[in-house]
Structure 1
Amino acid sequence: MTGMKRCEINSACPCGRLYQKKPLAYGACCGRWLETDTPAPDAESLMRSRYSAFCLERVAYLLRTWHASHRPPSMEFEPGVKWLGLEVRSHTVLDATHAEVEFVARQKPLIGPAVRLHECSRFILENGHWLYVDGDAL
């Protein structure tokens, strides 16, 4: 596992969320969830913060926000991967404790062509915390 990467509070958030057509700062976006114990308020915010956690190599956050039924015991990051962007296609609230988020994330491995990850992810709200359960590749 490599060391955590840093993101300046005032720099653009890795998740690419916009506010009034301008990139939100990390501290006003995913940094609120990654740098504190504050839970993300909805499934889309959790999904975006998990994307940022992949960009910043935050294993503890990823494992903490993964539902216990599907959480791996550990994880490592592939060296040299560069995350290229995130597009959230939809956020569907199914009921008070279940939601789905469809997204496309792009990454470039150190060797080889860029990869496009298109997934419909499932989330559950437990004890006031949204958690990633699993997803289907599209």
Structure 2
Amino acid sequence: MSVIRACPCGLGEPFADCCALLHAGSRRAATAEQLMRSRYSAFAVGDTAYLLRTWHSSRRPTELSLDPEQRWIRLDILGRTGGGPFDSEGTVRFRAHYRLPGHAGSLTENSRFRRTDGSWFYVDGDHD
């Protein structure tokens, strides 16, 4: 029997039935929040290819390296504007909690998203 791992995005579904489908390209995010949650999951599982692929081309870095010591442990959605299935732009305000050896902390960001050709992309964000 295989172990069902909960998706890091916090919705309570198994990873294989949730954000893993977006990471694999089997599904597209229907909303800005869904993309934001899937990107958080990508940080949690170390999927830099997905992070780069879902970064808007106007702001996408050429490369991305993640700290292998950092563990993302919880995501809280604090608010959103727009970002629905019929919107072209949206924001998601969130707090992401993490652990590093000897340190725990959180990152709060108001992220901006844009939908292009039916797909949502992360543009940028403002950190608190």
Q: Which residue identity lines up with residue 90 of structure 1 in the other structure? A: G
| Aligned twin of 2:79 | 90
| Aligned twin of 2:103 | 113
> Are 2:64 and 1:64 aligned?
no
CA distance in 2 between counterparts of 1:74 and 1:80 reads: 19
Q: In structure 1, which of residues 20, 30, 44 is the aligned counterpart of residue 33 of structure 2? A: 44
> Are 2:111 and 1:135 aligned?
no
CA distance in 2 between counterparts of 1:127 and 1:72 reads: 21
CA offsets 1:89-131 (integer angstroms, 9 cap, x no match): 1121167200000000011123x42121001000000011100
Superposition deviation, residue 62 in structure 1: 0.2
- Contact kept, 8 Å, 1:9 with 1:31, in 2: the verdict is no
- Contact kept, 8 Å, 1:89 with 1:103, in 2: the verdict is yes
Q: Which residue identity lines up with residue 102 of structure 1 in the other structure? A: R
Structure 1's consecutive aligned runs of 4 or more residues displaced over 2 angstroms after TM superposition are 35-38
CA distance in 2 between counterparts of 1:49 and 1:71 reads: 17
The size of the alignment, in residue pairs, is 125
* Structure 2: runs of 5+ lacking an equivalent: none
Superposition deviation, residue 37 in structure 1: 4.2
> TM-score, normalised on structure 1?
0.83
> Are 2:24 and 1:35 aligned?
yes
* Structure 1: runs of 5+ lacking an equivalent: 1-7, 18-22
Q: Secondary structure at the match of 1:114?
A: strand
> TM-score, normalised on structure 2?
0.89
Task: Give the share of equivalent positions with the same residue, in percent.
Answer: 41
CA distance in 2 between counterparts of 1:137 and 1:55 reads: 19
Query: Once superposed, what is the RMSD of the aligned Cα atoms?
Result: 1.8
The 1:78–1:98 alpha-carbon spacing in structure 2 relative to 1, beyond 3 Å, is same
| Aligned twin of 1:5 | none
Q: Which residue identity lines up with residue 97 of structure 2 in the other structure? A: R
CA distance in 2 between counterparts of 1:36 and 1:113 reads: 34
